[in-house]
Amino acid sequence: MINIAIDGHVGSGKSTLARGLAQKLGFHVLDTGAIYRGFACAFRDRRSQNIDEQMIENFVKDIKVDIFFEGDLQHVVINGKDYTKHLREEEISVLSSKISPFPVLREKVRLIQRDFADKYNCVMEGRDIGSVVLPNADIKFFVTASEEVRAKRRFEQNKDKSLTFNEILKDLRERDYRDEHRKVAPLKPADDAIILDNSNMTLEQSIDFCLKCMAKKGLKI
């Protein structure tokens, strides 16, 4: 199996890139961020105000995760409830960042990810794919863009404009800090990752960049 790892900052467009690249290659794609967001949705439903290690351990024990696809849309089902339409809510984005550092939760997701990679030629994206989840991936990319560009993208995705651009920029900076400084699997490029700064690139240009890198590496696709 050929496994492609894509990591990067929030708002960098790594999910869109992963889907576009997988479509070009005829590969499967797993949006691992969506799995964490699914956990965040289920955690929110418990209406708990406290987040600590014991609570997360108890939470994970009761969780059954199912992933299925409708066309290109990845559905995340937790304990029989499909949370897909809620995954991109800003509240879920923030909550996901808060619960994802807990080791027991990350191990649960890691098992899902590795099982997927063993079965399919795939593009897998997240924040620790190349460094932790798939350290032996055939090729690794780390996607980023300037803070302002990433905040603008998230602002445009926030259709009801419930948050201002400056509020989104502030949250993005805080999330970057949490992601980069967490004790478990901090966000950083793998040693052998190829850096892709797409601040001034279209999606097609980003996909072409990845395909050229794969060709240079001699990957037969």
174-195 residue pLDDT tens: 999 988 988 777 889 999 999 9
pTM (2 d.p.): 0.76
pLDDT in tens, 20-57: 999 999 998 888 889 999 999 999 998 777 799 999 99
Q: Given a cut of 80, is residue 73 above it in pLDDT?
A: yes
pLDDT in tens, 84-142: 999 989 899 889 989 988 999 989 999 989 988 998 899 999 888 999 999 999 999 99
In this structure, the strands spanning 73-78 and 81-82 are antiparallel
Residue type, 219: L
CA separation for the pair 26, 104 (Å, rounded): 33
At residue 197, φ and ψ (nearest 5 deg) are: -95, 110
